[in-house]
A and B are shown apart, each in its own frame.
Chain A
């Protein structure tokens, strides 16, 4: 930024950050509400993606670049694409018959509210509110997010990290076991050449040759070629 710094720079930046925060917060909330209210399930998934994007932008606003980029990579790039895939492979695409409120909606309201309260109440109670926030004391220490997170995973949080890794591996193996048919049951899709050869062999079988000996040799040669490929 050079040596010259106008007084507006810090102040304007703060206002700008507040305005951006409000915009992103509005985006996240709108998208989240739309996700649960729209009828069309594909639209719901797309609104969910935009909500994920907003969260990534909030991370960037907090200068947690690694977290922000990882949010986009994992949630937008992988999870939501998986959701879209799953939706497109299911039958009732429009979901017009599905009711959005079940008779037990009050349980669904109470449980998340209680869980959310369990998380937020201690935080709010124990947090020392300083309004307006005090000016930052000096330069904050340089943060290189990726390295700190990596070190933390390999040192302090080594056990949770390993447990999570094992869980993911187990889930992956489980998915393969479920999706993979048994080898002997699996019907291989034949290529065109194989289909033609198969049909030739069937025709040979169906018309028994008047003289048995040439027919037998023909079968043997075709078997030999089949073995080579």
Chain B
């Protein structure tokens, strides 16, 4: 962006101003992108849930009700802003801002397409986790500042859920850090090139005979730096196709549902129990700000899940177009941005689907699910991820002479690693599920309870 601007108006303005304008432009584009998606998401959610519940949903404003979100926005703007008399004014006012700002900051590090990344941060994964944790402060402020018992209860529930589901989410992301050998999000889609399961390990035997449409030069490898190779690249070497990535994706996506307060985990705003949770005392634009924050959080978490496990912008045809050079590189970028958007929307559709399918969890079920099922699975997955990296990348000297795989071809090592991790993950998942399904001992004695009461 900076370079484009510089070539256009390079002489007219000082350089630092151009850099500043470029940053502002990129920020504006990303925020508009997210808010545009938010509008479409609200419409899609209402229509899809209506379809699942055999209703029509909003269908009056515009074609198929597409303009309904705009009508809603106008309604939100014109509503009266009510602040309870005993509320803490400043905290009540600042809470929606503190809830929305970190969520918007999450969008800064996601690679939206091939070469379309607003900021390249080398700790991007940790940054995403850290910044999303900050919005908990906003929820707490909303709950306390409203001076309402439902709001406080809702905030307590929200923050307790946020804090406890952060642990499986971070542990699942740790497998990505191990596989990638770093925390940069920019590198992740490049590492997920290749073909399903095998990744970028099917190499080109004869450099002259390999078509650039099928084979591309892979420079960045998961784990350790290797010299660039020509590998079969269909843009489908997503980590979700390997056992490690699959388990990691499952755990992360479920934890992301809980962090985004989607339906099986929506006890913080359970409207049949505590009105609307921490949003109870908010009206007009402040309520809309919370609403936007929630949907953009879902959008950003879907984008993170897609980038970390589903290959990000990687997809069939992107590498081939990029290899053709010239103006085709821009076509490749547009196609890659489309792939990422499609993945985000598929994940969001699954979220809506779960909302249509599942009832709300109880709070003890919620905690049991996080601590007894997701966390052990994620921990086992870390061991598998380490084995995966060890089996595919390490030399026998790094193994200390215990295992020597130096003689094998990359695809053979990949196959061995996939088999070993599949066995470990399936066995562990089966075992942990069996433990959790074991009937509980009756902890209470009926006779004793009768005597007590």
Residues in A lying within 8 Å of B, measured CB to CB:
1-2, 4-6, 8-9, 12-13, 16, 42-43, 46, 49, 65-66, 69-70, 72-73, 76-78, 80-81, 84-85, 88, 144-147, 183, 188, 190, 198, 201-202, 205, 223, 226-227, 229
Contacts and interface: CB of A to CB of B under 8 A. Distances in A.
B16 A2 contact: no
B58 to A, nearest CB: 36
Given A12-B16, A66-B126, A146-B123, A188 B444 contact: yes
A47 to B, nearest CB: 11
Interface stretch (B69-77, B128-136, B217-225, B284-292): B128-136
B162 to A, nearest CB: 8
Interface residues of B, number: 38
B449 interface: yes
Contacts of A146: 122-123, 126, 182-183
B137 A49 contact: yes
Given A2-B6, A198-B450, A227-B442, A81 B136 contact: yes
A201 to B, nearest CB: 6
A77 B446 contact: no
Nearest to B143: A88
Nearest to A77: B133
Contacts of B152: 88
Contacts of B129: 73
A188 B444 CA distance: 7
B453 A202 contact: yes
20 contacts: A2-B3, A6-B14, A9-B16, A42-B144, A65-B122, A69-B127, A72-B131, A73-B130, A81-B137, A84-B140, A85-B156, A146-B126, A188-B443, A188-B444, A190-B449, A198-B449, A198-B450, A205-B450, A226-B446, A229-B442
Interface in B5-40: 6, 10, 14-16
Interface string B215-248: 0000000000000000000000000000000000
Contacts of B443: 183, 188
Contact of A76 (B3, B10, B137): B137
Contacts of B446: 198, 201, 223, 226
Contacts of B144: 42, 84, 88
A81 B138 CA distance: 10
Given A73-B129, A76-B134, A146-B126, 7 more contacts: A4-B15, A6-B16, A9-B15, A42-B88, A65-B127, A77-B136, A198-B450
Given A49-B137, A85-B159, A205-B450, A6 B15 contact: yes
B422 interface: no
B137 A80 contact: yes
Contacts of B347: none
B276 interface: no
B93 interface: no
A93 to B, nearest CB: 9
Most buried by A among B10, B16, B156, B450: B16
Interface in B144-189: 144, 152, 156, 159, 163, 166, 182-183
A164 B145 CA distance: 37
B141 to A, nearest CB: 7
Interface of B: 2-3, 6, 10, 14-16, 88, 91, 121-123, 126-127, 129-131, 133-134, 136-137, 140-141, 144, 152, 156, 159, 163, 166, 182-183, 442-444, 446, 449-450, 453
B16 A46 contact: no
B123 A81 contact: no
Contacts of B126: 66, 69-70, 73, 146
B14 A8 contact: yes
Contacts of B6: 2, 4
Contacts of B140: 81, 84
Contacts of A72: 130-131, 133-134
Contacts of B137: 46, 49, 76, 80-81, 84
Contacts of A190: 444, 449
Contact of A46 (B2, B131, B141, B166): B141
A73 B450 contact: no
A129 B98 CA distance: 41
Contact of B123 (A5, A43, A66): A66
Sorted from nearest, which 6 A-B pairs have the closest CB atoms? A77-B133, A73-B130, A6-B15, A72-B130, A12-B16, A188-B444
Contacts of A78: 133, 163
Given A65-B121, A66-B126, A85-B159, A73 B133 contact: yes
B222 to A, nearest CB: 16
A46 B142 CA distance: 12
Contacts of B2: 1-2
A46 B91 contact: yes
A229 B444 CA distance: 12
Nearest to A93: B144
B234 to A, nearest CB: 32
A202 B88 CA distance: 49
Contact of B156 (A66, A88, A147): A88
Contacts of B183: 146
Contacts of A226: 442, 446
Contacts of A13: 16
Contacts of B159: 81, 84-85
